[in-house]
Amino acid sequence: MNDKEQHSKLITKNKTAWFNYQIDETFEAGIVLTGSEVKSCREGKVTLKDGYARVTDAEVFLHDVHISPYHHAGYSQHDPLRQRKLLLHRREIKRLTGKIRERGYSFIPLKMYFQNGKVKVELGLARGKKLYDKREDIKKRDMKRDAAAAFKERKQ
């Protein structure tokens, strides 16, 4: 186990991203959160399913990621679907801007986790899959599951 894995704790994964998109490249980014949002993240009340990132004025923002309000926050609740700024290096943002302008690329969150006490987001540079690609993935997954079951049955 390397040092990076030792100090990170998974908050949530975007399971549908790997099915709906072909992920070409991944990036790690910090995220600007309020105190009640961090506490909700510690409870695991985050949904990345519909989320996406967009570059605006040389800054990257995360949209449609739902972080539930923290129930002990009192009167200062946060908006669950607000835009959240992502912290990336300027050269990474420039490179991403060029890639996103290419036809068919999206920038989507894959997982959110704590690393050394800070919330990080793993983002993927992705192309949407066609329906026949999704069917092919389902077929491969079923074949792999059947082969594993047959192997297990033969071993006993």
Selected residue with higher pLDDT from 79 and 29: 29
pLDDT tens readout for residues 120-133: 999 888 887 777 77
Q: What is the pLDDT of residue 1?
A: 45
Q: Is residue 42 part of a domain?
A: yes
Q: Is residue 135 part of a domain?
A: no
- Look at residues 92, 101, 113 and name the one whose alpha carbon lies nearest to residue 44: 113
Distances (CA, A) of 107 to 56, 70, 81, 135: 13, 27, 17, 23
Q: Is residue 136 part of a domain?
A: no
Selected residue with higher pLDDT from 150 and 61: 61
Return the structure tokens found at 97.
């801007």
In this prediction, residue 73 has a pLDDT band, given cuts at 50, 70 and 90, of: low
Distance CA 23, CA 110 (A): 9
pTM above 0.85, yes or no: no
Residue 37 lies in domain: 3-129
- The CATH number of the domain where 45 resides is what? 2.40.280.10
Question: Is residue 74 pLDDT above 60, yes or no?
Answer: yes
Q: What is the pLDDT of residue 57?
A: 85
**Is residue 107 classed exposed, middle or buried when 0-12, 13-18 and 19+ CB atoms within 10 A define those classes?**
buried
pLDDT tens readout for residues 4-52: 555 678 888 888 887 788 888 888 989 988 888 888 888 888 888 888 8
Distance CA 111, CA 125 (A): 13
Domains in the chain: how many in total?
A: 1
Q: Is residue 45 part of a domain?
A: yes
Residues 141-153 as b or e (16 or more Cβ within 10 Å = b):
eeeeeeeeeeeee
Q: Is residue 25 part of a domain?
A: yes
* Radius of gyration (C-alpha) of the chain in whole angstroms: 18
Mean pLDDT over each residue of the chain, to the nearest integer: 82
Distance CA 90, CA 110 (A): 21
Q: Is residue 145 part of a domain?
A: no
Q: Is residue 140 part of a domain?
A: no
Q: Is residue 139 part of a domain?
A: no
